């Protein structure tokens, strides 16, 4: 085998490995996009974010995606895509994921705000209930009008 043939074979192997990496990344992005879309549907129904079944898997896949992007950024991994169709598929998937994640961010913020409103409503109800039944005011002293008789009888 000549040097040119060896270089050609190595280049073909590298390209094939790159294609496999890209296809694997596309699969990861597709799975992550589906999970985020499912989560968005549940958030749209008004479910609290803490009760969503997708959270753990979404976080796991997002971490893998972040690691891949970070590896590309520092140059330890290359995602050079020679195949134009594969490159377009990757870009399309990244765009879909970004759109789904943007919606997810908006919906999660709304869910957090709704949870905060529910917590505040419960806390307000508790404060009101305590104020009605407690003979003590905010200062810790017996409230006016709600004094409890504590007189003792002394007879000699």
Per-residue pLDDT of the chain (156 residues; tens, 9 = 90+): 665 555 555 455 555 566 888 899 999 999 999 999 999 998 898 877 667 788 889 999 999 999 988 888 787 766 677 788 998 999 999 999 999 999 999 999 998 898 899 899 999 999 888 877 767 766 778 766 554 555 555 555
Give the per-residue pLDDT at 34. 95
Rounded to whole angstroms, how far apart are CA atoms 45 and 41? 7
> Quick one: which of 60, 51, 54 has its CA closest to 37?
54
**Which residues face 136 on adjacent strands?**
142
Rounded to whole angstroms, how far apart are CA atoms 50 and 52? 6
pTM, entire model: 0.66
């Amino acid at each position: 085998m000549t040097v040119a043939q060896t270089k050609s074979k190595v280049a073909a192997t590298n390209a094939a490995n790159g294609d496999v990496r890209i296809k694997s990344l596309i699969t990861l992005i597709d799975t992550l996009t589906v999970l985020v879309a499912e989560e968005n549907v549940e958030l749209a129904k008004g479910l609290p974010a803490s009760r969503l079944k997708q959270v753990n898997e979404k976080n796991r896949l997002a971490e893998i995606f972040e690691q891949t992007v970070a590896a590309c950024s520092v140059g330890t991994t290359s995602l050079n895509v020679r195949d134009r169709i594969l490159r377009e598929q990757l870009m399309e998937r990244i765009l879909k994921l970004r759109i789904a994640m943007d919606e997810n961010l908006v919906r999660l913020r709304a869910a957090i705000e709704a949870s905060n409103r529910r917590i505040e409503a419960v806390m307000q109800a508790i404060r009101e209930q305590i104020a009605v039944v407690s003979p003590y005011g905010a200062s810790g002293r017996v409230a006016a009008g709600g004094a409890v008789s504590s007189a003792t009888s002394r007879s000699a």
